[in-house]
Amino acid sequence: MRSFLLIVSRDLQLATRIGGGGAMAVGFFVIAATLYPLALGPELNLLGRIAPGIIWVSALLACLLSLDRLFQADHEDGTLDLLLLDPLPLPLVILAKTLAHWLTTGLPLIIAAPVLALTLNLGADGFVTLLATMLLGTPSLSLLGAVGAALTVGIRRGGMLLTLLVLPLYIPLLIFAVSAMDAALFGLGASAQLLVLTALLLAAIALCPVAAAAALRLYVQN
């Protein structure tokens, strides 16, 4: 547990020194979401109807911005080789790094989401569901992104390839998160969609660190 927390603390400090991955993600999140009202005009009913999709697409793209720093910096300075030799199992190392990524990227998005929801005229009935979907969905974004980051760790300028690998994995999250918010806005129960998001999160916690660890080991061996 001590090694796990040390890795989380190290990655948090590095993210702060680099300039704050959370600030960059939130900045992109806000800018991307505010472009939609400028393009669609001041039609509040239309904005309120499509607000769930706007918020989640913007959050997804903001998360993609910082995925390449999950392992790339460690690979370039040799830290990745040391992490592979760490007594802590590699899947737990990856889980720790993913947790740090979520704390610096996903958590700031959750904090900023209600403010954006107000500007997009999201109905009051959707606020609780919005927070629930963000709490369940953003950790899955980081976990799935870790797999893509591990597969592209040795590729120069692999950001485009990383995006192409990860985006199809994000589609189920996007569908069920937006569906849950739509159901809440129309007065329908969103419990089924939230249960699916919970199941996806649990599956991602169990499988993604193992898959990312296998990808990193394969890269080092080759």
The residues spanned by each domain of the chain are: 2-221
Instruction: Outline where the chain has alpha helix (H).
Output: 2-18, 21-40, 44-65, 72-77, 79-85, 90-101, 107-119, 127-151, 159-185, 191-221
Q: What is the mean pLDDT of residues 144-153?
A: 88
Out of 16-25, 57-66, 177-186, 189-198, which region has the weakest mean confidence (pLDDT)? 16-25
Query: pLDDT class for 158, splitting at 50, 70, 90?
Result: low
Query: pLDDT class for 69, splitting at 50, 70, 90?
Result: confident
Q: What is the mean pLDDT of residues 61-90?
A: 79
Ranges 184-188, 205-209, 216-220, most confident: 205-209
Q: Give the mean pLDDT of the chain.
A: 84
Query: pLDDT class for 63, splitting at 50, 70, 90?
Result: confident
For residue 132, pLDDT over 80 is answered with yes
Report the distance separating Cα 157 and Cα 17, nearest Å: 22
